[in-house]
Amino acid sequence: MKQLKTRNFCIIAHIDHGKSTLADRLIQLTGAMKSDKIIEQMMDSMELERERGITIKAKAIRLSYQAKDGITYELNLIDTPGHVDFAYEVSRTLAACEGAILVIDATQGIQAQTISNVYFAMDHNLEIIPVINKIDLPSSETEKVLEEIESVLGYKSEEVLQISAKTGQGVPELLESIINKIPPPKGDVNRPLRALIFDSHYDSYMGVVAYISVYDGSIRKGDKLLLMGQGTELEVVSIGYFDPKFCPADELLAGDIGYIATGLKSVGECRVGDTITSLENGAKEPLIGYKTAKPVVFTGIYTTQPEDHGQLREAIEKLSLNDASFSYEPENSPVLGNGYRCGFLGLLHMDIVQERLEREFDLSLIVTVPGVKLIVTRTDGSQSMVVNPSDLPEPTELLKIEEPWVKISVITPSTFIGPIMELVTQSEGIYKHTEYIGHSHSPDALGQRVRLEYEIPLRSMLTTFYDQLKSRSKGYASLDHEVIGYRETKLIKLDILVNGVMVDAFSRVVPPDKAHEIGKSMVEKLKEVIPTQLFKVPLQASIGSRIIARADISARRKDVLAKCYGGDITRKRKLLEKQKEGKKKMRNIGKVEVPKDAFMSVLKMER
Amino acid sequence: MSDIKAIYIHVPFCRRRCKYCSFISYQSRESDIPAYIDAVKNEFSLRSGNSIINTVYFGGGTPSLLAAPQISSLTSAMKDNFNLANDCEITMEANPGTIDLNYLSEVKAAGINRLSIGIQSFNDEELSMLGRIHTAKDALNAIKDAREAAFDNLNIDLIYGLPGQSVDNWKDSLVKAVEVNPDHMSLYPLTLEPEEPLFKEIESRVLPEISADTAAIQYELAEQLLEKHGYIHYEISNWAKPGKECLHNLVYWQGGEYLGIGVAAHSYIVNRRSANTADLSQYIESSSHNSLPPQEVDETITPETEIAESIILGLRLCNGIDTKDFKKRFNIDIMKRYGRQIEELINFGLIENDENGIRLSPRGRLLGNEVFWRFLPDKL
């Protein structure tokens, strides 16, 4: 029976621990493709993903492997996103598999996000194969990492494989281990169809393509299906698997991983995590609880040139066809005009969406200070969600503000506990727990590694928290976070005035006792990033009508091409054309030309 | 129909490259000068024409590296191929470290009637920082010799905004300049490109950074001082005694046509701007086949661009743009077509207007780029 010869698995790894290299090596060793056809790290297909070294969209590849027992197995490798912003996508990917390869870098050891992913895999009863990668590197510390794995995750040394995805060392043994340890899919082809959507993307020819793991039953082209969580009905336009290109097939059976093209117009109608069944005589229960990943970080997006707003609307609509996890609502700023308040899964997700909008749609964007979703209770008892600081009620009408908190987990050599503790305290966080990792008999110069737990307002993580954590730990600390709920807080709105004009895009909510300090550094930072203008420009920070900080940009005195003779005219005109083009990257606010980067730069302030 | 009134001849040789220069010039290639002269003469004959030439300009590089008979052979070859006006202004640039009374008398006899001496500074420390081959004393001698050789149309170049140059240092050079009483002065702020040695010395902090604010004060000082001594400020960087404006450069600023001869020389003829190869060997080589040098630039100036350029160049002149002249040339009412820009710039205090036309304000002369770019056409 085919199902018994199938293994569905994914790779869990921290960024740069070698997931993509290992995937390439598995592809090469199983002969799914000729090795000369392998494009380096081919599972990362989006240009942006490769540049950032992360994987945003999960994909799946079917491999054919002849094991030592002489049987040819079908292996389905599902790729997972490597960043905490996409934790929900990771969780659905894990739910689509029976096993996971846990890759840990021999030079870096266990990282914070690795642990949460492993716990998640354990929750789903996945068989985990722990692997130490990069053992070929001179700086590898295999023994130490083995100790960490045993102390934190409970795997004995002999259970852990030692490999080098780069050289291929140990990978054949890993393949055997996949066959022997990971169980075949358990579903039943004769029961009503149940398939889990673990990823989807929009294709202009085929409509939404859903990546699915078929648990029970089977699917054929032309089948009429139902998404149990969303209630969407669809017909299968085409069906197949990946090798790693789309490879059409007649059917997908229980235990198979593949795709169906749905003809749907937006991934919003076909969301990750939903269970597919037959429209008639379908299954009664979904595979796992379906929910939508909820945006937690919000920001305003505008075009630098107001007349480009129509293009932005079109771009956002198109992009949302392909990314169901970001939200957008039209908003109007007195200064920036028409734009959108967008919600994201995290800062990285926000960066990615912004870059895709700018790159794929050739837009020049202003992204305002990101913030969280606040729950605001007014004195009249009414409650509302506030994602734009401008919507915060007047203090006299305000009874209570609640904001989201996160639990963070940091893994770091113990030397850096002090500076990290200090950072968390400055960020209004609370210490919860310390746990030492590995054995104390082999501490190195930086001290034994330790896992620290804190709780902090999510708001505090939206500025320089991560950069600071990295710099205070000389790059050693890793971070994981999850939202744990809302807590009451005291916050006020801090405004920035440029040349006397209040610029709502700079407004943010801050704790009252920090308003002064933050206001001061914001105007100082803006003074650096806004170029000199034709007149003196005052920059002010205010709370209500009270000015709490000020910095002035002095007027520009000289900007002229001094020489212009026969040989210069074309060249000088081109310089002026460049100057003119540069103005398009500026937003005119109160007659002041503000570079688009200024809006984000106020967040990247040193403390 | 072309209507060339001006000819530029480029002399791409220098004894030593100055540390701030971005012009095309070769050092240690002086042995190529004879071949180059022949190639230039050949280009004269290939581009010969009938229109009346009012101005000729030998620029460089260092034209005064050519021997007087070589200059003479060039001026006579030019007369063979072009129709030079009787009162044609013929300028030659000269480096004070390369000339003496005898030489100047000879080039005067060869037809040069305007001399432009690259003084740059009357301060020896500044001269050595710039990598000049002469001293302040050489400069004073050169001016004295020029007058003795009967040059009655004399320009000197000076540079301000130098690294570490105080307003007082600049004033000293200016005062010395007006004492020797040239007919014309070109004052340039130091402008550096990344590949120039001086740029690198500032990058690596061997020299202090250039202060734009100081340069602005130095410029305003020059405006006051030169006005007091009878100089008319007629272009952003140029001052002249009445009637001594440089006719050749006025051709550029007034949008006239010009023919460039020699390595890297630019021409503007019937809405086409082109430039000869900047490669000396290639230039000489093509001449040996009796063919025109390869073109490095060959740009058609569209009507939109021509209008923009004529405003940008016209505003460089202190008299600015005459509304009636503009209307006559382009059949466009500049105040209407550019009403929005002009109003904005008047509000910024960068241009002034009256019934005759528009011109840069004193502040606008320091912030010209903020004015100029606003007149460029939107890209298609």
The DSSP annotation for B66-79 comes to S-HHHHHHHHHHHH
Residues of chain A with CATH 3.30.70.870: 297-367
Distance CA A99, CA A181 (A): 8
Task: Give me the DSSP letters along B202-242.
Answer: HHTTSSPPPPHHHHHHHHHHHHHHHHHTT-EEEETTEEEST
Which amino acid is it at A534?
L
Q: Cβ B258–A564 below 8 Å, yes or no? A: no
Residue-wise pLDDT for B157-171, tens only, equals 999 999 999 999 999
Residue B72 sits in the same domain as residue B157: yes
- Å between A579 CA and nearest CA of chain B: 7
| Any A CB within 8 A of B268 CB | yes
**B86-137 pLDDT per residue, tens:** 999 999 999 999 999 999 999 999 999 999 999 999 999 999 999 999 999 9
Interface residue B184 vs chain A (CB under 8 A):
no
Provide the pLDDT for residue A213. 92
State the Cα–Cα distance between residues A177 and A9, nearest whole angstrom: 12
Domain boundary among B252, B271, B301: B252
| Contact at CB, B366 and A577, closer than 8 angstroms | no
Superfamily of domain A194-278: Translation factors (2.40.30.10)
Closest CA to A22 of A137, A168, A145: A168
Q: A562 and B189 in contact by Cβ < 8 A?
A: yes
Whether residue B321 sits in one domain with residue B234: no
Burial level of A494, CB count in 10 A (0-12/13-18/19+)?
buried
- pLDDT at site A55: 40
At residue A41, the pLDDT reads 43
Q: Across chain B, what does the average pLDDT equal? A: 95
The answer to whether the pTM exceeds 0.80 is: no
Question: Which residues does residue A239 pair with via DSSP β-bridges, in sequence order?
Answer: A260
The answer on B348 and B203 residing in a single domain is no
Residues B349, B211, single domain; the answer is no
Q: CB–CB of B350 and A577 under 8 A? A: no
User: Contact at 8 Å (CB) between B64 and B92?
Assistant: yes
A223 with A236: CB under 8 angstroms? yes
- Looking at domain A493-601, does it have CATH number 3.30.70.2570? yes
The answer to whether position B178 is within a domain reads yes
Residue A405 in tokens: 């908190």
A576 touches chain B (CB under 8 A): yes
Q: Compute the distance between CA of residue A182 and CA of residue A99 in angstroms, rounded to an integer.
A: 5
| pLDDT by 10-residue block (mean), chain A, 607 residues | 88 82 85 46 48 49 88 87 72 87 91 82 89 92 90 89 92 94 92 91 83 93 92 91 78 92 86 90 83 86 91 90 85 91 90 89 90 95 93 91 95 91 94 82 69 94 87 87 92 94 91 93 92 92 94 90 85 91 83 86 65
What the block records as the tokens of A503 is: 């610029």
Domain A397-489 has CATH 3.50.50.60: no
- Tokens 């950072």 found at: A423
Give the pLDDT of residue B318. Answer: 96
d(CA A46, CA A51): 9
Q: A556 and chain B: CB distance < 8 Å anywhere?
A: yes
Is A560 close to B236, i.e. CB distance below 8 A?
yes
Query: Rounded to an integer, what distance in angstroms lies between the CA atom of residue A518 and that of residue A301?
Result: 23
DSSP bridge pairs for B56: B7, B90
Superfamily name and number for A297-367: Elongation Factor G (Translational Gtpase), domain 3 (3.30.70.870)
Flag whether B195 is in a domain.
yes
Q: How far is B307 from chain A (nearest CA, A)?
A: 12
Question: Are residue B150 and residue B241 in the same domain, yes or no?
Answer: yes
Is the ipTM here above 0.85?
A: yes
Let me know: does B315 contact B371? Beta carbons within 8 Å: yes
Whether residues B232 and B160 share a domain: the answer is yes
Listed as ranges, residues in chain B with pLDDT below 50 are: none
CB atoms within 10 A of CB B9: 22
Contacts of B8 in chain A (CB under 8 A): 566-567
Note whether B323 and B229 are same-domain residues. no
What is the nearest CA distance from B63 to chain A, expressed in angstroms? Answer: 17
pLDDT at A136: 93
- A564 contacts chain B (CB < 8 A): yes
CATH superfamily of this structure's domain A2-181: P-loop containing nucleotide triphosphate hydrolases (3.40.50.300)
For residue B300, being part of any structural domain is answered with no
Half-sphere exposure of B69 (CA within 13 A, CB side): 1
CATH of the domain at B178: 3.20.20.70
Domain that holds residue B358: 314-375
Q: What is the pLDDT of residue A36?
A: 41
Residue in the block written with tokens 């600071």: A468
Query: What stretch(es) of chain A map to CATH 3.30.70.240?
Result: 397-489
B229 and B319, same structural domain?
A: no
Chain B, residues 5-44, CB within 8 A of chain A, namely 6, 8
Q: Could you give phi then psi for residue A488, rounded to 5 degrees?
A: -70, 150
Q: How many domains does chain B have?
A: 2
Co-location of B17 and B93 in the same domain: yes
CA distances from B129 to A40, B136, B174 (A): 53, 13, 18
CA distance B102 to chain A (A): 31
